[in-house]
Amino acid sequence: MTNGADIRRQLMADLNRDYLAYLAPMGTREDNHHGSISEQSPQSNSTPLTSNERDILAAGGARFENVRGTHTAEIAQSRRQELQNEIGAMIREAMTLAEASQWLSLPQEVIRGLATKESPEFFAFEAPDGTLLLPGWQFTNQGVLPHLSEILNRLSPELSVLIIHRFMTRKHPDLELPSGIVSPRDWLATEQDPNEVLMLASDL
């Protein structure tokens, strides 16, 4: 059986071909992950962006303003590389179903069921090759991030895996502890008021 490290290594090797799949809305991924995004032929980082790529990259946070005088291929390469680096970091920190099962001492089928039901208790997504991954931010040394299910059920299905990852892991100015500003993940991990994060999740 392929171990988690090998799975992550292969997914990262395939990012040049598959990175757009991680920017698709979660609510459409089940329909699309075997579609044109994940099955397209590998793209060279030097090719110009298509209008579809440009729209999806913009939804993922890429910015295209103030680029006069810069060759389109250079813009494309820069934006793609930035996003691929960010997605790669997300993949490196994620757990496979087998790893999450070992971490939580729960059967894999139980975790899969809790992650894929209508009101999920874990956050999981399918990589373009069908591998189920669970982002690492939802786990703590004690097990599962407090109030995880409540947060997940406030998030719109129109959000992509990458946007949700950014929301949970980036510091937010509205979440301040005596030690400084923290991310929603760290706010919940230190058992602060979950309503602060719930409100932010509702506004995404």
Q: What is the per-residue DSSP string for 58-78?
A: HHTT---SS-TTS-HHHHHHH
Say what the pLDDT of residue 86 is: 92
Closest C-alpha to 4, from 106, 108, 144: 108
Which one-letter amino acid corresponds to residue 108? Q
CA 172 to chain centre: 17
**CA proximity to 134, closest of 4, 18, 37, 46:** 4
Alpha helices in the chain (DSSP H): 4-13, 15-18, 26-32, 36-39, 51-59, 72-93, 97-104, 108-116, 148-152, 161-169, 184-189, 194-202
Query: In Å, how far are 13, 23, 112, 145, 180 from 159, measured between CA atoms?
Result: 25, 8, 20, 20, 28
Residues in the chain: 204
In sequence order, which residues have a C-beta less than 8 Å from that of residue 35 and are 6 or more positions away? none
Query: How many CB atoms within 10 Å of residue 26?
Result: 17
CB 163 within 8 A of CB 60: yes
The pLDDT value given to residue 119: 92
Local mean pLDDT, 10-residue blocks, the chain (204 residues): 87 89 74 39 50 58 54 68 91 96 96 94 93 96 95 93 95 96 97 96 92
What is the C-alpha separation between 187 and 170, in angstroms, rounded? 11
pLDDT at residue number 23 = 87
Q: What pLDDT is stored for residue 48 in this prediction?
A: 57
> What tokens does 57 get?
């990259």
Q: What is the pLDDT of residue 34?
A: 37
Structure tokens at 178: 């005596």
Contact criterion met (CB below 8 Å) for 128 and 18: yes
